[in-house]
Structures are given as C-alpha cells and as structure tokens.
C-alpha cells in the first residue's frame, strides 16, 4: 500500500539547489530543460508543510526551502507584485496565486519561518487583483504589469481559490479576515455547485466568458488540456463535492444545500464516470451527454474520488462511502501505484498501461498526499487544520 513516508521521500527529490522544487520525471529526476513552475513549487511547499505538522523528519527544512523560493526567488515579481506562472512565463494567473496562498497558509499553520509573511503578501494580491466582488468569484489571468485582464473565466482556478481561502482562514490571526475568507469560499461554492452544477443536473461547466456565461464548446479541439479540458471534468466534480463539506465544517449555521449538493454531485460523478467506456476507472472527461471524451485515467481524478468518499463517510456516517473509498483505493493500488518511486503513475490508458497524453512523469505529490491524509480524519476547513 502507498504510504506517506514513501511518497515524501520521492517528492523530496524535486528539491532544486537554486531554490524551489522542480517537475519530477518518472525516474525521480527533474528534467534540466524544464522551467521552474510556481504551481509545482507552491504545491510541494504545501505538502512538506503538512508533513512538518505531522513531525516528519526533514519536512520543516523542505517547507522553509519552498517558502524562501516563493518569497525571494525569481518567481516573485518584486517590481509589479504577485508571482509569475513560471521562470519562462510572466503571466499572473489565479490558479497559481491560489496555490501560493495555500502554501503560505500551510506554512503558517506549521510554524515555518517566513510562512506568515508569504501568506500576507499572497492574500493581498488575491484580494486586490483576482477577487471579482460582484460575481463572488475570481478572475483568471493578468499580464505581468496588471494592465491587461484576459477575458476567460474558469472554474478550476476558483475551485483551488476556495481551498486556499479556507486554508488561509484557518491560519490568519485576524477574526474579521477569517470570516471574510470563509464567506468568499461559501459564495464561490454556492455559485458553482448550488448554481451551475445543480442547474445542469450535476454536469458542471468549467469555462466562461468575462460575463460568466458558460462556453460549453471551449477547447473542443484540445480536449486533453491538463488545466482547461473540454466537457465535464469528473475529478473536479469530486473535488467540489469535498470542498462543499469543508465549507460546511466552518461556516456558522451551514445551509442544508452544502451537504445535499455534495451528495448529489458526488453521486453523479461516480455513477456517470466509473467505467463509462467499459473499462474500470474514471475517464478524464465526459461530454454533455455523459459519453467519454478523453478516456485516459489520471491519478489525480481517482485520488479526488477517494478523498471525497472518505470525507463523505466522515460527515454522513454512511457505510457506502467508506466502501467506495476502499474499492477505489484498491483499484489505485493495483493500477497506478509505482513501487519503484513510492508515488503513482500520473496517467494510464483505459486498459491500464502507462500513458503520456496529458501528463508525463510523476511531479504531483499534492493529490495523493491529501488523499492519504484525509482518510479517517475529522473534517475541518483545511487539511492543515485537520492535522492540527
């Protein structure tokens, strides 16, 4: 069975001597020609911050290494503020900034030097540059100098924004700021889950115009895009179901729809996604008639399915969720687990062979680590709060 310590040993190989963390190939090496990407640095910092909360040897030093890279390294734009997407891409995206907020929040919770400063800076950028107060959601992408806002709006960045705001609310000292963050997380979840997903019978649109109008054909010509795929993204529906329950755990007098919608969204993703093409597992994406579009099996989709089932089991006490989590975890151990690395292969064909249509290598410890850590633990606003 996959264990956290084995995953952490592999993830530690992503440490870059010059600062931050790199994209790990399947051989446990960082390709020398790949840029340093902020989402990788931030996710790894978050993972090592969680490990530090558990007292894992060496984790605090790795988390400090990530915080230092995000604070003082080349990804942090001192001239204009915020963080570039990568060392070769100076755009400023909500997706990236959500993970910087998350890294800062987890580092703060773990008592990592510099974590609170990083969190404060990242929250300031999130509030002033990305929050659309009228919509209750986050805008998507700016140029380096914050002079041009792209017209695309997306649910993926908002999903991770909810996660980041909940984590920040658990980490900040100021009660008013924490209340604001939790309210924003609730508003975004209401708009996305109780609004768009529920209105479309639990088929969540991901892509929108600047007026927040769904663009259902977005990326039809590039359906396997790793961040903006065409159609219904099964794994994101599991993720939103789980996040609704994290919101429910921290808001005062939570409305009934947070649990009801989490159940319905989870059930739709499970029923429509599992073996949709006749092969065990969840396809990456479905079309609007529930037919598979990208049949590849991605590790993060299964991780989020297991994590959502585990959280639903904790919240409801219903055995069926615990059984689903067990079955899906066993499927992952049989198909995805790589005994040579301690991590999981990131992409398989429907028949179970290693594939590279959307992802190469094994760079992402984030989904798998959180799946392992949420199992059997109480539900809080953030994973860090659960561990504390």
In 3D space, the residue among 74, 14, 71 whose CA is nearest the CA of residue 44 turns out to be 14
Give the C-alpha distances (Å, rounded to integers) separating 383 from 30, 184, 318, 372, 375. Answer: 27, 18, 22, 11, 11
d(CA 52, CA 55): 5
**Helix ranges (DSSP H) in the chain:** 4-11, 38-53, 59-72, 94-109, 115-125, 155-171, 175-189, 198-199, 234-250, 257-273, 299-316, 319-335, 366-374, 383-387
Calculate Rg over the CA atoms of the chain: 19
Nearest 5°: CA angle at 230, between 229 and 233? Answer: 65
Tokens of 254: 């939570």
In 3D space, the residue among 387, 339, 346, 341 whose CA is nearest the CA of residue 366 turns out to be 346
Which residues belong to the active site? 236, 367
d(CA 357, CA 110): 37
Give the C-alpha distances (Å, rounded to integers) separating 55 from 9, 51, 167. Answer: 14, 6, 19
**Helix ranges (DSSP H) in 251-298:** 257-273
């Amino acid at each position: 069975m996959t264990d956290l310590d084995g995953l952490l040993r592999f993830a530690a190989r992503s440490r870059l001597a010059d600062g931050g963390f790199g994209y790990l190939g399947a051989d446990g090496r960082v390709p020398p020609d790949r840029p340093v990407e902020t989402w990788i640095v931030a996710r790894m910092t978050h993972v090592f911050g969680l490990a530090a909360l558990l007292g894992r040897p060496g984790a605090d030093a790795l988390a400090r290494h990530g915080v230092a890279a995000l604070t003082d390294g080349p990804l942090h734009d001192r001239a204009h503020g915020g963080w570039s997407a990568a060392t070769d891409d100076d755009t400023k995206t909500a997706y990236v900034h959500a993970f910087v907020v998350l890294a800062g929040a987890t580092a703060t919770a773990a008592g990592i030097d510099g974590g609170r400063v990083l969190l404060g800076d990242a929250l300031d950028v999130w509030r002033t540059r990305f929050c659309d107060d009228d919509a209750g959601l986050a805008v998507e992408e700016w140029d380096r100098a914050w002079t041009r806002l792209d017209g695309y709006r997306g649910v993926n960045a908002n999903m991770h924004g909810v996660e980041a705001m909940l984590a920040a609310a658990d980490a900040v000292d100021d009660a008013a700021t924490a209340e604001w963050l939790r309210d924003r997380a609730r508003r975004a979840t209401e708009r996305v889950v109780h609004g768009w997903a529920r209105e479309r019978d639990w088929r969540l649109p991901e892509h929108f115009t600047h007026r927040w109008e769904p663009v259902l054909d977005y990326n039809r010509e590039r359906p396997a895009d790793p961040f903006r795929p065409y159609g219904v993204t099964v794994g994101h529906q599991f993720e939103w179901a789980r996040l609704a329950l994290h919101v429910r755990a921290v808001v005062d007098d939570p409305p009934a729809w947070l649990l009801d919608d989490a159940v319905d969204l989870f059930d739709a993703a499970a029923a429509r996604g599992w073996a949709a093409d006749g092969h065990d597992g969840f396809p990456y994406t479905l079309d609007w008639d529930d037919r598979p579009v990208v049949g590849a099996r991605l590790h993060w989709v299964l991780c989020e399915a297991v994590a959502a089932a585990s959280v639903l089991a904790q919240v409801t006490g219903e055995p069926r969720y615990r059984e689903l989590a067990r079955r899906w975890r066993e499927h992952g151990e049989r198909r995805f687990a790589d005994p040579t690395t301690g991590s999981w292969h990131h992409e398989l064909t429907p028949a179970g062979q290693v594939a590279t249509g959307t992802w190469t290598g094994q760079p992402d410890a984030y989904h798998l680590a959180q799946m392992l850590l949420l199992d059997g633990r109480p539900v809080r606003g953030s994973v860090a709060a659960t561990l504390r």
